[in-house]
Amino acid sequence: MPQQYRQEKKREKVENKFLNTLANIYERFMYGEVKSESERILENLRSAHEDWRNAEKYFQNVTDPDLIDHAIFKIEAEKTRYTYLLKLAREMGIHGNMH
């Protein structure tokens, strides 16, 4: 495995841990509750799916060639995010209502 790939994976794990901790602090402060990691993953998965659907709607409504390119990029980015979160949820054994 290339060193750069290992470093990137390590950085992603540190970032995810940091973001989870930050989310817990925010939830405690705002709501007095803490969501489990599974609940946050499912929430992010639902959000990613909605963002993907919105990107597809955006593509349907643009006419300018430059915006069409942007819309295609946006669809691919949102699809990739959703696919990543879905894979992560499966790897973690998380099941739930995705919609």
- DSSP letters along 38-57, please? HHHHHHHHHHHHHHHHHHHH
44 and 19 housed in the same domain = no
**pLDDT band, residue 39 (cuts 50/70/90):** confident
Confidence at residue 98, expressed as pLDDT on a 0 to 100 scale: 55
Segment 58-67 mean pLDDT: 93
Question: CA 33, CA 86: separation in Å to the nearest integer?
Answer: 25
The CA-to-CA distance between both ends of the chain, in Å, stands at 36
16 and 62 housed in the same domain = no
Which residue in the block uniquely carries the two structure tokens 């993953």? 41
Residue 90, domain extent: 36-99
97 and 63 housed in the same domain = yes
Q: How many domains does the chain have?
A: 2
Q: Are 20 and 37 in contact (CB under 8 A)?
A: yes
What percent of the chain has pLDDT above 90? 40
Q: Which comes out higher in pLDDT, residue 37 or 79?
A: 79
Confidence at residue 27, expressed as pLDDT on a 0 to 100 scale: 73
29 and 43 housed in the same domain = no
What ranges in the chain are assigned the alpha helix state H?
3-31, 37-61, 65-91
26 and 40 housed in the same domain = no
54 and 98 housed in the same domain = yes
Report the mean per-residue pLDDT for the chain.
83
